[in-house]
Every structure is written in structure tokens, then in C-alpha cells.
Chains A and B, each alone.
Chain A
Amino acid sequence: MFRRYSIQLILVVGGGLLTYVAYEELLNLYTLSVLMFMGVNIILSTSLNLVNGNMGEFSCGHAGFMCVGAYVSSILGVWLFTKDKVFGAPILDPEWALYAFPFIILAGGVAAALAGLLVAIPSYKTRGDYLAIITIAANYIVISAIENIGSIGGSRGFMGMKKVVNAMGDVVDLPWMPIWVFIFTIFCVWIIRRYVSSTFGKGVNAICQDEVAAEIMSVNTNKIKTVTFMLSSGLAGIGGGLFAYIIGYVNPGSFNILKSTEVLVMVYLGGMASLSGAVLSAVIFTIMLEALRPLQIIKWVVIPLLLIIVMQFRPEGIMGNKELSDIFPWMKRFYRFK
């Protein structure tokens, strides 16, 4: 009984502990925000791993989809629940903000998933390097489009999300952002795990390893590509939405190709097609970024250097193609990673 539900138990206890710690302000705001960014990074790296690791394509425009999610959920929240100089008076009573929040974030995810079609449809005919170029283009299309829409701030950015977060706190006095980030991080990893472990989702790995054989052995490759790209970008949109509400401010510049590269680094550090590797490397990467903060700008010399070293001595990443349970077999008693 305990073994069967051990993961659920750990998650509930962890979530409760996080809420308690945040509520009692035992952690300072800085540590708390690092923890929240860790959650967002886990969402981003696991979702990109789906395309780059499991499907074997090279997407380097992940931040573009994150941007779509961030803007859609920010605008929805501000439009519905706050008094804003662009959108005017709130449409709904701010008291509803708390209950509507998950749907706002999901709406950002859906919008990002639709934006994912921008890459999914060309992927029917294109692959490899050429598709990578298309993903960069998609990233730029999204950013440039938003920069040119003046009513949502253009390149100056968009703000007002803090009011929505505060409105949630007014309804029930709990540290809502850490709670939502925690829930959505688990939600995303949970969806990806279920997807890749189903026979349906294993078609993704089949496409990666031999697309011709996959098509001949009855895998509808176009459908699988569409579903996978949309899922990946949709989850990135969820991550983007959370990111926007954590900071309380978004501008297109923070979702440029550098952000995409950051996510790529996490995926390649963790190991291709390894879900636990992607989670682990997102955690390590977030901590590393903060630990190297004293180095200031030199940080961006040290981190790429680390990547070079990893690629040189362990090109398959920390976990390689394996899950935690392959490396520590005792874990299988508690949780089946595959």
C-alpha cells in the first residue's frame, strides 16, 4: 500500500511543506522565487525533451511558444480581473481570480499548442537541420509579432499580473504562486510520462529511430508529429504563463533565442529522451545559475564551458537514454519510470 502510493505521498507531503514554508515565510522571497523558477525550468526542459530527445528533431525555438503562453495568460488575467488602462474595468469579480487561474494558465497552453502548428506542419516534409531553422523562424515570428502590437505594450512589455496574484491572495490567504507552480509542474511531468509510456506515444521514439520503418509499420507519422509538437509547445506555454505571473511582468525580449538556448542546455545536460534526466538537469541548472551569480557576467562563460566539458566527456548527458530506475534499480519498487 505504502509502496504503491509512495510517489503520491511524497508529492502531497512536499507540496504541503512548500505551502507551509512559504506561508510562514521561513524562506526568504529570493529562495522561494528560485524554487518557482526551478518548477518552470522543469516544465520547459521536460517538454522540449519530448521533441529533441524522444522525437529526435532539433527544436531551438521553445521560448517562442513560452512567449505565446505567457502573453495569452497574462492578457486574459489582466483583462478579466483587474482595472487596466488598456482593457478598462474588470469583466469578472476579482474574487473569481483564484478559481479561474488554472484555466487562464491552461488557455495560454492551448494558444501555445496552436502556435506549435507553425512548426508541426512543416515537420511533415522537413526534418533535421532544416526543421531547426524553421523553429528559429517560429521563435522570431512570435517575438516580432508581439513587439509590433502596441496595445499590449509592444517591446516595452506588459504588466499588471501582480494584481491578479494579489486578488487570489485576498480570496484565500495562501502563497498561491508557489502552490500553482508546484501543481502545474507535476501536471506537466505527469502528462509527459503517461504520453511517452503509452503504445501511442512510443510511436514518437519509433519516428526518432527510423521514420521509414515507423511509417511502414502503420504509425501515422504526421499525426504523431502534430500531437507531439503541440503537446511540447502547449506545455511550454503553461511554463510561460507561470513565468509571467511569477515575475509580474513580461516583455518579448525575455523570450528570445537566448532563452531557447538555455532550455536546450538543460535538455542536453540531462540526457536525451530521459524524463528524469530532464527534471534533474533543470534542478541542477537552476541551482547552478544562482550559485554562479557572484561571477556576474562571467557566468555565461562558465556555463557554456561546462556544456563543452559535458559534451566532451559524457555526450549522452547526465542520464543518457536512461531513467533513474535504470541506474538505481531499487527505485522500481516504488515507482515505474517507464
Chain B
Amino acid sequence: MNNSNLKPDVQPVLEIRNLIQQFGGLKAVSDFNVCLEPGGLIGLIGPNGAGKTTVFNLVSGFYQPTSGEILINGVNTAGLKPHQVTGLGVARTFQNIRLWNDMSVLDNIRVAQHGKLPYGFFHAIARSGRYQSCERQIEEDARELLEIFVLQDFADEFPKNLPYGTQRKLEIARALSSKPSLLLLDEPAAGLNSADVKELIRLIRWIHEQFDVTIWMIEHHMDVMMELCTYIKVIDFGETIAEGVPVEIRNHPAVITAYLGDDNI
């Protein structure tokens, strides 16, 4: 996990060096470092406002960092737009579900292939051979993916009509449809009941095994994190306060202080 024990011949999926993000006078993220090997399932936790989502927004290209470097599969993302960063193999979900609610479930998956479309406007108008074969392939893949996620019955339904848990599942499926090497999950268990949370844990573990993808997730449900993650990073006020395997984190004094407050106030 740390730079020291990373095998030199393994290309890290994500490498962040000395990342700093400043909003005016507020340091939302300060000196953040991480190096994710392929195949990991890593957690990012911290109290509200600690800067977790900011880190995700920086990785997905939504913000340009004040300073520091983000390398995805070895490519520096400085100056890239979010859709270009996505093209490097990153996909993410959002804290508040962001599906396209007035588009069918199938179209939600289809549009997520936008970055890989080999045709442009004129092919679409002319319905050229390239367009035809590409559209057929996209539809086939999308239906296949829906079947894998057991969502095929909802293909023509609008996402807004689906139950909350199914929407979460669809959002994860949409993110995976671009075949990313790194999947960022921003509080996937938010708003789910305990039965749904159990289902979600199974789903994430299953995705991790099936899709050959590195998962980095933010979550407030500690049981989810303790059960799933092999390694957890804790931040507070933008600073990394602890990192390690779940058991270490559970008993780490700095983490307990950050969450429960200091005794000596």
C-alpha cells in the first residue's frame, strides 16, 4: 500500500502526490498522498466536512488541484476535463444519486459509452455502417450489463420510478459500463436500510471479484468499511490522520478523537 512496499514493476492505478486544494482561505485538502495498487478495495473515512468528497472531485477531474499531482494509470491528469479523466479509466458514483431520470434505464447505460463512440455527428445523421455496428454493439453490451445486475426487467423504465436501492445499483452499473480500472464510490450506503446495506456489501464484493476493478470508497457506515476494505485512510480537516488495516483504524486514538472529540476539553 505504501510507496515502500509497492513492487516497482506494478503500475499503480492511482497515485496522488502532495495534493493540496484550497478554496479561498480554506484548505479543504492538504498534502494528501495515496498510491493504489491494482485490485485493492480501499476505504476513505472521516467526519463530515473532512474533505473526502473533495478528494474524489479532484481525482475525477471536477476540480483542478491548487498543487500536487494525480496520476491515473501513469497519466497525469493536470488540465484534463472530467470526461477525459473518465477516458483514462476512472468511473464514479455520487453521494446523492445522479441518474438521468427522464431517460430509460437502458439509455442511461448507453449514454455512459459516449467517450468511446467511434462516430460523430455526420455518421449519426447518415446512419453509416460504422454507426449501425457501433449502436448495435452498445445496445448489446448495455443489455448484457443490465442482465448481470438483474435489472433487465427495468430496461424501459425511468430511473425515477425505481426503488432507492435499485437506483443505487443502477448508478453503480452505469459507472461500471465504461469498463473502468478504478471505481470511486461516494457513500454508496447512504439512505439505505439495513437489509439493503447487507445486499450492497454483497454487491460490492461481487463487483470487486467479477470486474477486475480497483475500488476506492467513502462511507459512513463503519460496518460496511470494516467488512469490505483491506485498507482504510482517515482524513480530518483535509489532513490524513491515520491509515492502516481496519483493525488498526478501529482502535486508533486519533480516529477516535476525530469522531468522538477529545476528553481534555
Contacts and interface: CB of A to CB of B under 8 A. Distances in A.
A220 B115 contact: yes
Nearest to B101: A209
B98 A219 contact: no
Interface string B92-135: 10100011111100010011111111011100110100010011
A76 interface: no
B87 interface: yes
A217 B127 contact: no
Interface in A190-240: 191, 194-195, 198-203, 205-206, 209-210, 212-222, 227, 231
A227 B119 CA distance: 14
Interface in B125-147: 125, 127, 131, 134-135, 138
B124 A216 contact: no
Contacts of A194: 124-125, 127
A205 B135 CA distance: 17
A202 B120 CA distance: 12
B214 interface: no
A261 interface: no
Interface stretch (B6-14, B19-27, B78-86, B253-261): B78-86
B153 to A, nearest CB: 20
B81 A217 contact: no
B121 A200 contact: yes
B114 A198 contact: no
A155 interface: no
Q: Which of A195, A201, A220 has the most CB of B within 10 A?
A: A220
A321 interface: yes
Contacts of B134: 199
Nearest to B159: A209
Interface string B201-233: 000000000000000000000000000000000
Contacts of A222: 81
A201 B175 CA distance: 20
Q: Which of B94, B111, B125, B127 has the most CB of A within 10 A?
A: B111
A161 to B, nearest CB: 28
Interface residues of A, number: 27
A198 B131 contact: yes
A218 B119 contact: no
B250 to A, nearest CB: 33
A203 B112 CA distance: 9
B102 A205 contact: yes
Contact of B121 (A205, A214, A227): A227
Contact of B114 (A191, A199, A231, A321): A199
Contacts of B81: 215, 220, 222
A317 B99 CA distance: 24
Interface string A146-173: 0000000000000000000000000000
Contacts of A206: 100, 103, 111, 114
A277 B135 CA distance: 26
Nearest to B87: A218
A218 B125 contact: no
B111 A203 contact: yes
B124 A202 contact: no
Contacts of A321: 102
B63 interface: no
Given A216-B62, A217-B114, A210 B100 contact: yes
Contacts of B135: 198-199
Interface string A296-321: 00000000000000000000000001
A219 B103 CA distance: 15
A195 B103 contact: no
* Shortest Cβ-Cβ A-B pairs, 6 listed: A218-B115, A198-B124, A213-B98, A218-B86, A209-B100, A219-B114
Interface of A: 191, 194-195, 198-203, 205-206, 209-210, 212-222, 227, 231, 321
Given A202-B107, A217-B111, 12 more contacts: A198-B135, A209-B100, A213-B99, A213-B100, A216-B62, A216-B82, A216-B92, A217-B114, A217-B174, A218-B86, A218-B114, A218-B116
13 contacts: A195-B121, A199-B110, A199-B113, A199-B117, A202-B111, A203-B114, A209-B103, A216-B86, A217-B86, A217-B91, A219-B111, A220-B83, A220-B114
